[in-house]
Amino acid sequence: MKQFWLSIFLIFSCLRVVNAQENYSLSGYVKGLSSIQFSNTSKSFVENTIHNRFDFNWYATNKITITAGMRNRFIFGSSINQIPDYARYLGEDSGFLNLTDIWLNKNATIGISQLDRFFMDYTSGKFEVAIGRQRINWGQAFVWNPNDLFNTYSYFDFDYEEKPGSDALRMQYYLNETSKIEWTTAIDNDKKVTSALLYKWNTHGYDIQVLTGIYSQTDWVVGAGWSGSIAGGGFNGELTYFHPITTSINNDKLTAVIHYDYTFKNSLSLQFETLYNGFGNNSSSSSLESFSLMSLNAKNLFPAKTAFFGSASYNVSPLLTAMLSGMVGKGGDFLYAGPTLTYSLSNNKELSVVAQLYQLKKDALTMQSIFGGAVFARLKWAF
- Kindly list the domain boundaries of the chain, sorted by start residue: 2-382
The model's pLDDT over 231-266, given as tens digits with 9 standing for 90+, comes to 999 999 999 999 999 876 678 899 999 999 999 999
pLDDT (mean) for 167-186: 97
Detail the DSSP E strand segments found in the chain. 24-39, 42-58, 64-77, 100-106, 109-124, 127-134, 166-174, 180-187, 193-203, 206-215, 219-230, 233-244, 253-263, 269-277, 306-315, 320-329, 334-346, 349-360, 370-382
pLDDT (mean) for 352-379: 85
* pLDDT of amino acid 62: 94
pTM above 0.85, yes or no: yes
2-382: CATH homologous superfamily? Porin (2.40.160.10)
* pLDDT of amino acid 12: 55
* pLDDT of amino acid 264: 97
In whole angstroms, give the CA distance from residue 274 to residue 259: 7
pLDDT (mean) for 203-224: 97
The answer to whether 260 and 235 have CB atoms below 8 angstroms apart is yes
